[in-house]
Amino acid sequence: MGNGVILGRFMPPHEGHVALVRTATYLVDRLTIILACAHDDPIPADVRRGWMEALFPLTRVVLHCTSRPISTDSPEWAGIIRRLHPEPINRVIGSEDYLVPLAKALNAQHFILDPMWMAFPANSADIRADAFAHWQSLPSHVRPWYQKRLTLVGPESTGKSYMADLLAQKFGGPYVPEYGRPYEKYRSTGPYRPEELHYIVDGHIAHRKTLALMAGPVLFEDTDPLLTAVWAEMLLGHSLPDLEARIELPEHYLLLDADTPWAEDPLRYYAKQELRVQFFEKIKAKLDAHGASYTLIKGSYAEREAAAFAVVEKMLDTPKGTVNAQ
């Protein structure tokens, strides 16, 4: 079967592209993806290359960037592809009719697959205009580009885990669980050491990166490194600058007030109300110091749920990274 090439902008790649490339791998022995890019593209070329390499690790992905966009139906591409792919090309694969003259110019056979996108009626321009409306068309590796994070922070026993689970059930999950709880359950007894707070952040970030690929338009997160930084102050009596440097602010926080009843739990530390209030004030100060966007959630459970739902609905109005379709 020999060598094959696919030409496209993949801005962003969608499930139709995934089907196209996977089908192409059955038609050739070696597949090269030529990724067309221009310097003012709304999604950087390196980001798209990373997506394509993650989605198709057995293919070769080659960038060709120019100062101006070159339409994929331009006759210029025959010469460009010859320079990028000096080996003989046996098959040119895609979904549009410009492939016929391109394949002829490359002395190759054309394969136009699902030309009407009937199997996967996705369109990159539509996704760029409103990614949330086309969420199911986005491959997992692309989703974090458009996804927003909503992180729940607050003192102990304020319902963070409950609220994260509730939001994920209503708006689409999974949610990122708090890694500090399983760490606390299995750690050796004794005072906390600074490196342990970093272990907690390591576990949390690893969870987040994995679950973001599976989650919905809003990624719900039960605590984060910012809250772990506050825990460091509570447990150690001082801040950890190297931990503070690991804070990556989400689009928005829900700050849960300490006005809920205390629930006994062997993994919890600060049952006294004055300590819960102190913890709350430290969290609020940390959010303010980092210029974080947040909403205070307080009152009855019904009031808390209504306020949280309203925040999510507002976040769903516009995907992160959305640009006007071009």
pLDDT of residue 266: 65
User: Domain coordinates of the chain in residue numbers?
Assistant: 3-134, 147-315
* pLDDT < 50: residue spans in the chain: 323-326
Q: Which CATH topology does 3-134 take?
A: Rossmann fold (3.40.50)
pLDDT of residue 325: 32
Each residue of 178-187: pLDDT tens digit? 999 899 989 9
**Residue 210, helix vs strand vs coil:** helix
pLDDT of residue 119: 81
Q: Answer yes or no: are the C-beta atoms of 119 and 127 closer than 8 Å.
A: no
Closest residue by Cα to residue 12 from 125, 164, 167? 125
Q: What angle do CA 285, 168, 53 make, to 5 degrees?
A: 95
Domains 3-134 and 147-315 share a fold: yes
Question: Helices (DSSP H) in 213-249: which residue ranges?
Answer: 225-236, 241-244
Q: Which CATH topology does 147-315 take?
A: Rossmann fold (3.40.50)
Q: Where are the beta strands (DSSP E) in 102-242?
A: 109-112, 148-153, 218-222
Q: Answer yes or no: are the C-beta atoms of 99 and 293 closer than 8 Å.
A: no
pLDDT of residue 120: 79
**Residue 299, helix vs strand vs coil:** coil
Give helix 225-236 / helix 194-212 axis angle, nearest 10°.
Answer: 160
Each residue of 301-325: pLDDT tens digit? 899 999 999 999 999 998 886 643 3
